[in-house]
Structure 1
Amino acid sequence: MPADQDTMPADQDTIPAERDAMPADQDTIPAERDAMPADQDTIPAEREQHTVVGDARWVSETLHRHWGPAWSECAPLPLSGPDGAPPLSHTAGLWRVSHRGVAHLFKVQLTAEAQRGPAFPPVKQRVLDHCAAHGIPVASAVPTAHGTVHVSRGGHDCEVLPLLPGTATAHPTPAQAAAAVRTGLALRAALDAVPAPLAADLAPIPLPALVAEEDWRAALDEARTRLLPAAHRRTDHWGRAAVRALTALLAAEPLLARYDEALATPPERRAVVHGDLHHHHFLLGDEGPRPPHVTGVLDFDNLHVGDRLLDLAWLAELAGRADEGPSGQGASVAALRTEAIRFGLLADHQLPLLMPVLIARSVPIVVDIAKDILERELLSPAWLGYFELLDTGRRLRVHRLLTG
């Protein structure tokens, strides 16, 4: 499963988006400095055996040793949304921590396949600084006591971020959807303007391969021949959820086949790509008479150089979530189409490609979740959230709105 699903909860409510600027020399930290010396990243065996990677004690110890004693004065709390539910994440541990009474986020990558390597965090920070300079509200890493933007403890990458104000919603009003789309298009413009040397530093850093079968054609074949029959044989709610998700995937096969050649062709324009601009990653403020506005764009862990249409496809999908029925969704998608073309971010001939790009990326993920349910018996409550996030039926409806 991909790191794009390390989503943040909706209750980020304490720190303004502004941050103290990081000194320029911290934007280009050599990789060898971006980790603590080995003797500082070990603890006695008798203590280590009682510490579970990513639990509260482990988080406190990491904060104390790498960010300083003041960071471990209050016990970390698992991050949760307003309803008390944990964030939609299976590759990262997310903790609410406090520093001198101010709330922050501690994030640790728990799975080896989600690690991007020591070169990635400093490059990501430089992209974040670039976006902030273009007016995008982003959460930039809090430097460690020794000046780096992350540490790796036992092979697990850790960072501390400010908690930005605002909430995320899966069912935005048309005004909220419009605010998220405007900020998303501004972010896309900022990423198009990333300096060439910075893009060149990011380009060699690969995205982690988090599923065994990444080809959408082979994944659909598995869905048709093996997984959907197995889902139909299962009579519980897991089987029913898998049937719905796999049936929707197979309904998209004609669309993917129609654009197969275009999907296999290198993109017209490679650029720095956020890669994960779904609704969980836009925090919205709606205070008093001020209209809805974005207070934070989250989770740049899927940052890479690739097809910029992916970001625009995510924004179209977000516009299609406007919670006022088909007419509201149609108006939101039409507004995105108009604005993206007006600002030169999208061409008319690219509109039919947006949903195929997004669906093709999601097919292997949905199929891998179905394997977890039907073959591996890994029944995580998060899988239902991912099925909703990656709903192919919604994307087919958005495709019709984009091209009708």
Structure 2
Amino acid sequence: MAVYTPVSAEALTGFLGRYDAGELVSAKGIAEGVENSNYLVDTTRDRYILTLYEKRVSADDLPFFLSLLDHLAAKGLPVPPAIGDRGGRAIQQLESRPACLIRFLPGVSLSHPTPAQAHAAAAMMGRMHRAVADFALARPNSMGADTWRPLFERCGSDLDSIAPSLRDELASGLDRVLHAWPTDGDRCVIHADLFPDNVLMRDDQVTGLIDFYFACTDLRLYDLAVMHSAWSFDVRGERYDLAVGRALLDGYADSYGLGAEERQQLPVLAMGACLRFALSRAWDWLNTPADALVTRKDPLAYTRRLGFYQEHGITAFS
């Protein structure tokens, strides 16, 4: 989440007037994340999240995202569906951006997850993968493996302005991972971005899965690999937490199942996840407007994770 587009109180009041949502009390921009503009909105009736979709999220993809959330909510998963206005419309326009008013979920996002919390979150991912078995829609992965080298080329030599030799390090990683990338395997709709800050919890109970705007149809185990790379390290990617890493795998295995052959696929999938986030963070680092209310994410935190998986391979998943 982030804020790129400011919304005036007058515009927000008019927007809320389309809903049976009460009158505006307060609105606060949310700086975390990098994709869309988000506000925490309190009214006389309830609390909501207002999301304005920026350029990386295509308006044409919104029906897929919103249908997915409705499907998962109907299956009993704790996800935040968009709210329809008095005419039943969920997708609006606000400040020249597509916008939705979204149900607020209780709980707090994690900064230092415990093994018990990791187990619960990975088990919820397994539930999500089971729940999408009869979801009829599909969407290509807009940040899939076929996009990594073109993004790397767009960043170009500017990568070395972030850190010396970063371009060479990422080039080597791309060559290794893309050569070994699986061409088959179980595919389904995945979250593709289930970081700790996209899971809401109360104690060890998951109360929300949020921020589905990278959801897509891709390798199911890639979703778990993304999660493993995001949850199992400190924020700088310097320290691997073995207990959290094992808890993620155990939680997913308990919920969905995880065989020995599947574990063998995880190292290259995890290295791919590291390249995906190192490259997108590098692009954002180089191109985020100076006046945007947004917290830039360090791409080097993912090159360090990449190095860990390259060194340890399957032992990171045993």
Q: Same fold (TM over 0.5)?
A: yes
The structural deviation recorded for 1:221 is 5.9
Match of 1:333 among 227, 241, 245: 245
Q: Would the alpha carbon gap of residues 398 and 63 (structure 1) be closer, same or farther in structure 2, given more than 3 Å must change?
A: farther
Give the match for residue 134 of structure 2.
194
SS at match of 2:241: helix
Output one character per residue of 1:127-174: Cα deviation in whole Å (capped at 9) or x when no partner: 223323443211112211101222234652111122211111222122
Are the equivalent residues in 2 in contact too, given 1:178–1:319 (CA < 8 A)?
A: no
Q: CA deviation at 1:93?
A: 2.4
**TM superposition shift of 1:57:** 2.3
Conserved? CA contact 1:372–1:379, under 8 Å: no
Specify the alignment match of 1:96 in structure 2. 40
Per-residue CA shift, 1:239-282, capped at 9, x if unaligned?
xxx228x73x754544432232233x644233212221111100
1:243 maps to what in 2? 163
Aligned residues of 2:65 and 2:212 also touching (Cα < 8 A): yes
- Identical residues among aligned pairs (%): 22
Q: TM-score, normalised by structure 1?
A: 0.64
1:393 aligns with 2:304: yes
CA drift of 1:358 comes to 0.7
Aligned with 1:387: secondary structure?
A: coil
Q: Which has the larger radius of gyration?
A: 1
TM-superposed deviation, 1:103: 1.2
Native 8 Å contact 2:82 2:90 kept in 1 = yes
Name the CA shift for 1:355/1:250 in 2 (closer, same or farther; >3 Å).
Answer: farther
Q: Secondary structure at the match of 1:95?
A: strand
Shift of 1:61: 1.4
Aligned length: 308
Find the counterpart in structure 2 of residue 168 from structure 1.
109
Change (3 A) 1:327 1:349: same
CA change 1:93–1:7 in 2 (3 A) is closer
Shift of 1:94: 1.7
**1:77 partnered with 2:27:** yes
Q: Secondary structure at the match of 2:59?
A: coil
1:297 to partner: Cα distance: 0.4
1:224·1:250 contact (CA, 8 Å) conserved in 2? Answer: no
Mind listing any 5+ residue stretches in structure 1 that lack a counterpart? 1-5, 9-51, 81-85, 232-241, 287-291
Deviates more, 1:98-107 or 1:158-167: 98-107
- After TM superposition, give the deviation of residue 100 of structure 1 in Å: 3.6
Looking at structure 1, the residues matched to 75 and 41 of structure 2 have their Cα atoms a distance apart, in angstroms, of: 29
Q: State the alpha-carbon separation in 2 of the partners of residues 125 and 221 from structure 1.
A: 33
Q: Structure 1's 256 and 339: CA in aligned 2 closer, same or farther, altered over 3 A?
A: farther
Which residue does the alignment assign to 1:32?
none
The reply to whether residue 295 of structure 1 matches residue 227 of structure 2 is: no
- Give the SS at the match of 1:300: coil
CA contact (8 A) 1:79 1:87 kept: no
Aligned mates of 1:122, 1:341 — CA distance in 2: 31
Letter in 2 for 1:259: V
SS at match of 1:283: strand
Asked if structure 1 preserves the Cα contact closer than 8 Å seen for 2:92 and 2:100, the reply is yes
TM-score, normalised with respect to structure 2: 0.80
Q: What's the offset of the Cα at 1:327?
A: 9.4
Output the amino acid matched with 1:95. Y
* SS class of match (2:86): coil
With over 3 angstroms needed to count, the CA separation of the structure-2 counterparts of 1:251 and 1:207, relative to structure 1, is closer
Q: What do you get for the CA RMSD once the two structures are aligned?
A: 3.5
Q: CA deviation at 1:223?
A: 6.1
